[in-house]
A and B are shown apart, each in its own frame.
Chain A
């Protein structure tokens, strides 16, 4: 494998690392990644914006991803999304003023037997009720 190829291969991994460190991929970080790997800025931006776990704007300390796909939707995921939004005072795609949570809706997370389900950061939770979510949210700083 050529050096150029191996650098290109590393792109997604490098972006993910930077993302984990600073909660998003800023314009400055994209320029740095592009220069370090010798790939165009367009490629860095293109890869970053392709994947739903990567963001170009600053995410909260914890990211809530509530599943909205059919099996979860059938178990009232929409009401839950509304409820959690009210509880946190934000809508999907927004971050709380204290930077604690970002709320997003996501497609199937493979927890349909525990619907409605969500991910907070890397952990999966389900089946959810408003009471259970309230308990879970308390455990995050």
Chain B
């Protein structure tokens, strides 16, 4: 399956600093069309399209909007989540760099449907170099925004702030710690107001949905995954970069045919807590039903050490855990300790059972997605590469038995 550039059609074609170049490509036509519809009609159209959140969690966008619109409270809030911190993900950066106007138009469409007067964009501190491009895009588009207020808020370096409840805490000037749910943001979010938080790519999807209709859009993809998806491909590939594919395409088409990967051992899809696909399952379709997440695709060739990778991933999650709930804060710590032991050759047979037991507790009792999914790469590699773990442990036990016993 070749690439299908719908969301990225302007990237490389327009000048991201000049709105006229976007207008020449048909820019802001979708916004014009939306304003001839009622907000309810727009929400219905988005619901019918089957669009699901592109940040990783995959919640149906139209349903989220409807919940917020129906929630009590006159003033609603829209936040664009541009805190792209998921390891291996750089699609939102690519959009902001190459076509910020599509995001501006998507935001304006969402704001109209939700009836909000003010929109926030939460931009990660690591992307500060994109701030000017984005602000310029909003400034140039002022004539289209009908008085909609836009504020770009910047983070200060924190992975967890991409998680929506932590993001809201950060915007309220607090530590970026996750919140208990319910209440969900659509009921009570930022400053207790009904809040919709949409990822950059989700918002960009609104432009073609409005222009070509939900029927056209839902004609692409699989039963539960409609449209196209932007994939960020990195790791052991000849051509790392951004690829837009129709959902349901296979992992093989993406990493082998397009990105030129060779001698693959495994692929992680969806970021640091994403699922692992071994080489033997490379024909797995990419969709919400299988593996997808944020669309991060990191390819590992046969030279890579599975346990070392899982250890580093756990180290990342441990560093980035907000530390509020015990299962995540302590669970990632203990997992890191066990995995570190395995890497160093100090593993014992009980370690694998301990990892599995801990995984269950973390998944069942963590407050947010980080802790709930932190064990995914551990469990997936234990499933597909258990032999690597067992061999490492038995070799370690054997090597330790050769060391002379100290006699005092």
User: What residues of chain A lie closer than 8 Å to B304, measured between beta carbons?
Assistant: 74
Asked whether, in the complex, the Cβ of B234 is within 8 Å of the Cβ of A119, the reply is no
Closest chain A residue to B296, Cβ basis: A112
In the complex, what distance in Å separates the CA atom of A124 from the CA atom of B125? 12
Instruction: Tell which of A46, A51, A123, A124 touches B157, judged by Cβ atoms closer than 8 Å.
Output: A51
Q: Which of B84-92, B216-224, B250-258, B368-376 contacts A (4 or more CB under 8 A)?
A: B84-92
Q: Does A56 contact B (CB under 8 A)?
A: no
- Residues of B126-181 whose CB lies within 8 A of A: 126-129, 154-159, 170-177
Instruction: Check B191 for interface membership: any CB of A closer than 8 A.
Output: yes
* A122 on interface, CB distance cutoff 8 Å: yes
**Majority DSSP secondary structure for residues of B touching A:** mixed
Query: In the bound complex, what is the Cα–Cα distance between A111 and B127 (angstroms)?
Result: 10
Contacts of A90 in B (CB 8 A): none
Chain A residues closer than 8 Å to B87, beta-carbon distance = 69-71, 107-108, 112
How many residues on the A side are at the interface (Cβ–Cβ under 8 A)? Answer: 36
Stretch at the interface among B33-41, B48-56, B236-244, B385-393: B236-244
- Residues of A near B170 (CB, < 8 A) are 12
Q: Who on chain B is nearest to A1 by CB?
A: B191
Tell whether, in the assembled complex, residue A8 and residue B172 are in contact, meaning their CB atoms are under 8 Å apart: yes
Q: Nearest Cβ distance between residue B131 and chain A, in whole angstroms? A: 8
**Distance in Å from the Cβ of A139 to the closest Cβ of chain B?**
16
Annotate B271-304 by CB proximity to A: 1 below 8 A, 0 otherwise.
Answer: 0100000000000000000000000101010001
Task: Find out whether the CB atom of A113 lies under 8 angstroms from the CB atom of B313.
Answer: no
For residue A58, CB closer than 8 A to chain B, the reply is no
Q: How would residues 306 to 318 of chain B score, 1 for a CB under 8 Å from any chain A CB and 0 otherwise? A: 0001001100100
Interface bits A91-120 vs B (CB < 8 Å: 1, else 0): 000000000000000111111110100010
How long is the Cα–Cα vector from A112 to B268 in the complex, in angstroms? Answer: 14
B199 at the A interface (CB under 8 A) = no
Residue contact B90 to A111, C-beta cutoff 8 Å = yes
Chain A residues lying within 8 Å of B88, measured Cβ to Cβ, are 69-71, 108, 112
| Nearest CB of chain B from residue A128's CB, rounded to whole Å | 14
Q: Does B345 contact A (CB under 8 A)?
A: no
Residues of chain B within 8 A of A124, CB atoms compared: 126, 129
Known A-B contacts A51-B155, A53-B125, A110-B126; A10 and B234 likewise in contact (beta carbons under 8 Å):
no
- Within the complex, which residue of B84, B173, B242, B322 is in contact with A47, where a contact is CB–CB below 8 Å? B173
Does chain B have a CB within 8 A of A3? Answer: no
CB within 8 Å for A11 and B173 given contacts A107-B316, A112-B240: yes
Q: Give B63-89 as 1s and 0s: 1 = Cβ < 8 Å from A's Cβ atoms.
A: 000000000000000000000111111
List CB contacts (< 8 Å) of A19-46 with chain B: 43, 46
Most buried by B among A13, A54, A74, A106: A74
Complex contact A54–B156 (CB within 8 A): yes
Query: Is B349 an interface residue when CB atoms closer than 8 A count as contact?
Result: no
Contact indicator B158/A52 (Cβ below 8 Å): yes
Name the B residues within 8 Å of A16 (CB-CB): 154, 156
Q: Is A87 an interface residue (CB 8 A)?
A: no
Q: Answer yes or no: B360 CB below 8 A from chain A CBs.
A: no
B127 and A110 contact, CB distance less than 8 A: yes
A112:B125 contact, CB within 8 angstroms = no
Residues in A with CB closer than 8 Å to B235 are: 70-71, 74, 112
Taking the complex as formed, is A133 at the interface, i.e. its CB lies under 8 A from any CB of chain B?
no
In the complex, A5 has a CB within 8 A of chain B: yes
Distance in angstroms between the alpha carbons of A47 and B274 in the assembled complex: 29
Whether A88 is near chain B, meaning CB under 8 Å from some CB there, is no
Instruction: Report if A12-B156 is in contact (Cβ < 8 Å); known contacts: A70-B313, A113-B242, A122-B128.
Output: yes
The verdict on A113 contacting B173 (CB below 8 Å), with A53-B157, A69-B87 known, is no
User: CA–CA, A109 to B359, complex, Å?
Assistant: 27
Smallest Cβ distance from A126 to chain B, in angstroms?
A: 11
Closest chain A residue to B301 by CB distance? A74
Name the residue in B93, B126, B304 with the highest tally of chain A Cβ atoms < 10 Å from its Cβ: B126
Check B172 against A71 for contact (C-beta < 8 Å): no
Q: List 25 A-B contacts (CB under 8 A).
A: A5-B191, A8-B172, A12-B174, A15-B156, A16-B154, A47-B173, A52-B158, A53-B125, A70-B268, A71-B87, A71-B234, A106-B157, A107-B159, A108-B85, A110-B85, A110-B92, A110-B126, A111-B93, A112-B232, A113-B232, A113-B240, A113-B242, A115-B234, A115-B240, A124-B126
Residue numbers of B with Cβ under 8 A of A are: 84-90, 92-93, 124-129, 154-159, 170-177, 191, 232-236, 240-242, 268, 272, 296, 298, 300, 304, 309, 312-313, 316, 319-320, 322
5 shortest A-B CB distances, which residue pairs? A53-B157, A51-B156, A11-B173, A52-B157, A112-B234
Known contacts A70-B272, A119-B126, A124-B129, then 17 further A-B pairs from the complex at CB < 8 Å, ordered by chain A residue:
A9-B171, A11-B174, A51-B125, A52-B157, A69-B272, A70-B298, A70-B313, A70-B316, A74-B298, A74-B304, A107-B316, A108-B85, A108-B86, A108-B88, A108-B89, A113-B234, A124-B126
